[in-house]
Amino acid sequence: AQSVTQLDSQVPVFEEAPVELRCNYSSSVSVYLFWYVQYPNQGLQLLLKYLSGSTLVKGINGFEAEFNKSQTSFHLRKPSVHISDTAEYFCAVSGTGGFKTIFGAGTRLFVKA
């Protein structure tokens, strides 16, 4: 079974500042890792995914994440945030042999002017 822990429930940050949203996972098998974003009253949108290969993955809207197997982490970063990045961000994991994806509790990113 897999589990995901998002270490921060809320992250306030000023516009144009860098941000890191932290995610740790646990699994007894190999995993795929994902970050999704949810804007108010909308569904979840895939930001990026790690399946294999390079541990640094780049996604949409200037976000990137780094897979660290030894620390079982998959932190999301953006060097300079915009007001429009204000949303809820979900880290998620699935076993490579399974069908379901397990989501973390979410981190609310609030970008201030």
Partner 1 sequence: EPEVTQTPSHQVTQMGQEVILRCVPISNHLYFYWYRQILGQKVEFLVSFYNNEISEKSEIFDDQFSVERPDGSNFTLKIRSTKLEDSAMYFCASSTLVGSGYTFGSGTRLTVV
Q: How far apart are CA 71 and CA 78, in angstroms?
A: 20
Tell me: does residue 51 bind partner 1 (CB under 8 A): yes
Binding mask 20-49 for partner 1 (x = CB under 8 A): ------------x-x-x----xxxxxx--x
Tell me: does residue 11 bind partner 1 (CB under 8 A): no
Other C-beta atoms closer than 10 Å to the C-beta of 82 total: 12
Beta strands in the chain (DSSP E): 2-6, 10-14, 19-21, 23-27, 31-38, 44-50, 56-58, 64-68, 73-78, 87-95, 102-103, 107-112
What is the smallest separation between the CB atom of 104 and partner 1, expressed in angstroms? 7
Tell me: does residue 96 bind partner 1 (CB under 8 A): yes
Q: Give whichever of 28 and 113 is closer to partner 1, judged by the CB atom.
A: 28
Q: Which among 12-20, 65-73, 76-84, 99-107 is the span making contact with partner 1, rule CB under 8 A?
A: 99-107
Task: Output phi, psi for 62, to 5 deg.
Answer: 80, 5
Residues in contact with partner 1 by CB under 8 A are 32, 34, 36, 41-46, 49, 51, 90, 94, 96, 98-106
